[in-house]
Structure 1
């Protein structure tokens, strides 16, 4: 698998982890989030498990426990750390042990883990501080794996989403125009910053990028059900959100009421090379 070249990009006010209001908005409808957000490829979960020295997993920013339950199904013992009590409560109800805290401030109380994972969450944490904390709690040869589901909308749906968002939410901090471009291009900066944070923390092997491609079919209703859980829309007033969903629904109807989404699940991962 490829490695990521270092950039040593400096942090700025535009860093995702500095948008705390956006990061804290996903718990407004934790049940919908858990119901609609995509899972991760079993092949990726299995590779992380096989690449770890044991089965004790710490899930950072575990949300409602989507990834945690997949690691449990793979035979792992999982502890989640989640800053949003609403998301943590949902995860607990679904069988995941969770401690409520921001990862940077969380107290591991002497516990150690074979893998530290983060699904769809690492960009909400300072990448250096997070890697330093991961190094502290990982056993030697333990694996750090931050991963994301990157989706690519069909062009006609992407153009409809961009058009309605430009009209309804012109002041959004999210890059609406990026919706019509190759999605992986927009995520590359997140992958690179995660890798640079691991390098700066020290004590890890050279970060690698693992990619797993897959597809999922959505009906009009299932996609519109997921959209309010996405960061661009979680804080949108209900009337504005309804306008966005209406415009996107019309576009999907024009395609016959359903479409196939292309996903790439990408992990930035490295192994702990010495004792903390």
Structure 2
């Protein structure tokens, strides 16, 4: 009597903070990352700074110091924590003090801050352990603020990227069609996990969401320059990355050589009790 082969055991789905190789891959081209990644709206930076009880700020997963430099321009003193030595070195060259460590293992050594912020980085951190460490590093009334730039591309460009990703990266465990959905849809899970982590860690007020919509104009060259800095593509072999960029470039050419991206900066924030 024939026997059936056992069904393969599905691999457990990793949370973003468990994708350590991807989380620490952005330093492969730190200069491109700093040059091409969008900044955060000044109004959002100033709102966070105004909600903190003082100017001392800790930037978690600071990367090349993009957000830290924006807060410094708003009158804050910023210290960065960054796990990637390559990103940290560039941040230092650009004037940001950085300590190299994963945030969960980082030691505040008795220091207290008025705000702990994370720009486009909190999903790479365990949401409960990260919130607990932030509570340890914040003085009473201090502000935890995790922020993301969620964006939506024109449908033609987003669909071209999704189609090319499925062709070039068939083994990747991602829903590429999410690129075509409204900008905040793919972020809802991240936002909920961040808020739940804050609640579970304790010591904070009820998390809030702040949002600000804005737009940014991209030329074909500017978008193709930024794409290799995005987490899905930082470890893609050069030949496959080139194939992807050719397909996306053709889609942008078909709509006139440039486009407007719709951005929403969203902040998950809570105050230290």
TM-score range, shorter chain: over 0.9
Alpha-carbon separation, structure 2, partners of 1:262 and 1:210: 17
Residue number in structure 1 paired with 2:139: 139
* SS of alignment partner, residue 184 of structure 2: helix
Which consecutive aligned stretches of 4+ in structure 1 deviate over 6 angstroms post-superposition? Answer: none
- By relative contact order (CA 8 Å, sep 6+), the higher-ranking structure is 1
After superposition, the C-alpha distances for 1:218-251 in whole angstroms (9 at most, x for unaligned) are: 0000000000000111110000000000000000
Residue number in structure 2 paired with 1:102: 102
* SS of alignment partner, residue 242 of structure 1: helix
1:50 aligns with 2:50: yes
1:248 aligns with 2:242: no
1:80 aligns with 2:107: no
Superposed, 1:6-85 pairs within 5 Å as 13-85=13-85
Superposed, 1:224-235 pairs within 5 Å as 224-235=224-235
Alpha-carbon separation, structure 2, partners of 1:217 and 1:181: 19
Residue number in structure 1 paired with 2:194: 194
State the TM-score, normalized to the length of structure 1. Answer: 0.94
Alpha-carbon separation, structure 2, partners of 1:239 and 1:63: 26
RMSD, matched Cα: 0.8
Deviation at 1:165, TM superposition (A): 1.1
* SS of alignment partner, residue 183 of structure 1: coil
Unaligned stretches of 5+ residues in structure 2: 1-11
Unaligned stretches of 5+ residues in structure 1: 1-11
Alpha-carbon separation, structure 2, partners of 1:233 and 1:112: 36
Q: Please, which moves more after superposition, 159-168 or 263-272?
A: 159-168
Larger radius of gyration: 2
Residue number in structure 2 paired with 1:3: none
Superposed, 1:115-264 pairs within 5 Å as 115-264=115-264
Deviation at 1:41, TM superposition (A): 0.4
Alpha-carbon separation, structure 2, partners of 1:272 and 1:109: 18
Deviation at 1:29, TM superposition (A): 0.3
Alpha-carbon separation, structure 1, partners of 2:163 and 2:207: 37
Q: Please, which moves more after superposition, 201-210 or 13-22?
A: 13-22
